[in-house]
Homo-oligomer: A and B are copies of this chain.
């Protein structure tokens, strides 16, 4: 039973439906029997409660509260009775079961052929969607077909406000307390539409669930829930069809959430189910036009990869109140917080294919900039903005600073994503409006915390890099390299704005209380950024002290002791040469700042020290292996990436999809096999195709111009308009189609 239950929990995650606003886990509508564990959840992106954070011993500047994504009103409930025998997957006989997510239609379907204990057979089909066009709207179609049953069919549909968040005190990656976050506020009906609202206590937010049906139902209420019953006589071969229209409105986005919910449902029932199925398809046709990554001859890989791409779409926030949770909207792991995952692992996909969503995700850091500035002051900086390591509303929610607030690199990660967006879409207006301000404020932190040594090197102390298996170190390579890029681009963008529109430049600089002196200091810091280079090894060290530490005893570490963080005290891990995930290598991938010799030596040094305990690791190493033309290794890491959730490789897919890994899977193909980089002088491609794949194709949406990249027998690029692309560092101006032979980049 334990294995069955675990797979059910994993499936709840894998079959979630979402549209960036609302996510509904793929729970069985009718639930499980007693004794089964379930994470029955529905979530709104950015809808949170405030919870206390406590410490064994507290210190100045430790966050005392955090946000937590709330499991909201449950509208999944649908119980089916035939002659009072209740449909259950665990009673009678399941003659057939099928669950699938159609990523072209945006519909999740569950089909069951069931024989009741008394021997009556029916077919049940549930189709679910969360609308990409009307974000508040979710639909469930229930189809019941009698195979050999004659008698009374009863469908009881419920909406339940008495819900709790999932808790688990044994896993640091899941919340250990704060289960009950919502209380029911109002239940009422207007016309045939039932509405139930719930309130959070401390964040003072309200959510409303409005429901109606395609047919008239008999309704009833209790203190925290609402139910509607349909009763029909069935004959052999007859089919009953019911559509449940659900709208989630919340007080963050809606002034009058009940009225708006009512209107959405009113309109939806008028337009009917078919309408929304059709526009869902149309939306996705447009999406796939830019986003499809085709893998020739490997249907399973193709499917898995595009499943990942689809989940990125299903997870990304569409308004300034939301971003992408660490688990998308598919589960409660990491409490629905937004991390650097968005900027480094997911924005590359959106920047390349969907600049509109990308721009919105970028804006989130601008919308929350004031919180980051407050946090900078609290963290002892006299200026600048310190991006929170994990947050929903914008304040720091990290309760363990050595692997939280100490990860200053997130400031540069945010800057990196702004710069990458700007470079591809040449959107200087966006930079003038908000981009430059974000860059400058986040960049000021480096100026405040960094210091020049006597030898005129600019050093950054006491930070943690992406690799959380070393913490609070000096001159972390990733941090310093990304900060250098960050600082350089502040100056470059300032110069461009000044050269293009002096008056705007003056106004911006005045508003931001900046001047040429500051820009000169920034340029100098970038120029003199310190990197610990080891001459003996011929590579950059992860930090100043990395080399002197003893190597982790991998040979004598039992397999069950991974991930190390669940089996060793942080100090044991920090004391050793051991990586959770790519760090130095990741900077080299993103920035393409070292030659292949150093890259190769670095790879050979760091990869054997890496446990890949982070889901963000295999995809990075896949890209790295591609960079040094080890396409077999690259493919092997890609394979792990693509199977991470489908095969539950980290044993915690139950808590939600590793959505950044989905972005990483995309990057392993496009940045890895395709060798794509966005640089100042244009798009660079350095394809390195693994033998296992006969062909890949993907597209780029550059300022609404579709660029098609086909990596088949030859490299074929098609562009609707004139575009510069570098292939193996050769410059091509494409206007139409270009074909090039495979080669290598040194």
**Cβ 8 A contact of A462, one of B380, B459, B574:** B574
- Bound CA span A570–B406, Å: 10
- Bound CA span A571–B472, Å: 8
* A379, CB-defined interface residue at 8 Å: yes
* A282, CB-defined interface residue at 8 Å: no
Binding site for B on A (CB under 8 A): 53-63, 66, 172, 176, 378-381, 398-406, 449, 451, 453, 459, 461-462, 471-472, 474, 544-545, 548-550, 565-572, 574-576
- Bound CA span A566–B62, Å: 11
- Bound CA span A661–B359, Å: 59
Residues in chain B near residue A472, CB distance under 8 A = 402, 471-472, 571, 574
Residues in chain B near residue A550, CB distance under 8 A = 451, 461
On whether the beta carbons of B401 and A570 are closer than 8 Å, the reply is yes
Given A53-B56, A55-B56, A399-B56, check contact A572 B380 (CB 8 Å). yes
> Distance (Å) between the CB of A614 and the closest chain B CB?
15
10 cross-chain CB contacts under 8 A = A53-B56, A56-B400, A57-B403, A59-B569, A61-B569, A62-B569, A380-B571, A381-B572, A462-B574, A462-B575
On whether the beta carbons of A379 and B56 are closer than 8 Å, the reply is no
Which residue of A63, A404, A545 has the most chain B CB atoms within 10 A of its CB atom? A545
On whether the beta carbons of A461 and B59 are closer than 8 Å, the reply is no
On whether the beta carbons of A60 and B574 are closer than 8 Å, the reply is no
Identity of the chain B residue whose Cβ is nearest the Cβ of A550 in the assembled complex: B451
Identity of the chain B residue whose Cβ is nearest the Cβ of A544 in the assembled complex: B545
Residues in chain B near residue A406, CB distance under 8 A = 571
- Bound CA span A643–B405, Å: 39
On whether the beta carbons of B461 and A57 are closer than 8 Å, the reply is no
- Bound CA span A396–B515, Å: 53
**Cβ 8 A contact of A569, one of B53, B379, B566:** B379
Given A379-B572, A548-B459, check contact A172 B59 (CB 8 Å). yes
Residues in chain B near residue A379, CB distance under 8 A = 569, 571-572
Residues in chain B near residue A571, CB distance under 8 A = 379-380, 401, 405-406, 462, 472
Q: 9 tightest CB-CB pairs across the interface, nearest first?
A: A56-B399, A380-B572, A61-B569, A451-B550, A57-B400, A462-B575, A57-B399, A53-B56, A462-B574
On whether the beta carbons of A57 and B398 are closer than 8 Å, the reply is yes
Identity of the chain B residue whose Cβ is nearest the Cβ of A556 in the assembled complex: B382
> Distance (Å) between the CB of A110 and the closest chain B CB?
36
Identity of the chain B residue whose Cβ is nearest the Cβ of A375 in the assembled complex: B569
- Bound CA span A334–B398, Å: 25
- Bound CA span A400–B462, Å: 17
On whether the beta carbons of A60 and B569 are closer than 8 Å, the reply is yes
> Distance (Å) between the CB of A626 and the closest chain B CB?
33
- Bound CA span A247–B283, Å: 82
- Bound CA span A401–B544, Å: 22
**Cβ 8 A contact of A545, one of B55, B381, B461:** B461
> Distance (Å) between the CB of A462 and the closest chain B CB?
4
> Distance (Å) between the CB of A552 and the closest chain B CB?
10
Residues in chain B near residue A55, CB distance under 8 A = 54-56, 399-400
- Bound CA span A474–B574, Å: 11
> Distance (Å) between the CB of A549 and the closest chain B CB?
5
Residues in chain B near residue A172, CB distance under 8 A = 57-59
Given A57-B399, A59-B400, check contact A548 B461 (CB 8 Å). yes
Residues in chain B near residue A567, CB distance under 8 A = 60
Identity of the chain B residue whose Cβ is nearest the Cβ of A66 in the assembled complex: B56
Which residue of A54, A398, A544 has the most chain B CB atoms within 10 A of its CB atom? A54
Identity of the chain B residue whose Cβ is nearest the Cβ of A569 in the assembled complex: B61
On whether the beta carbons of B176 and A58 are closer than 8 Å, the reply is yes
- Bound CA span A379–B575, Å: 11
Name 6 extra pairs, CB < 8 A, besides A60-B568, A451-B550: A56-B399, A61-B569, A61-B572, A379-B569, A401-B570, A405-B571
On whether the beta carbons of B461 and A569 are closer than 8 Å, the reply is no
- Bound CA span A472–B378, Å: 22
Residues in chain B near residue A566, CB distance under 8 A = 60
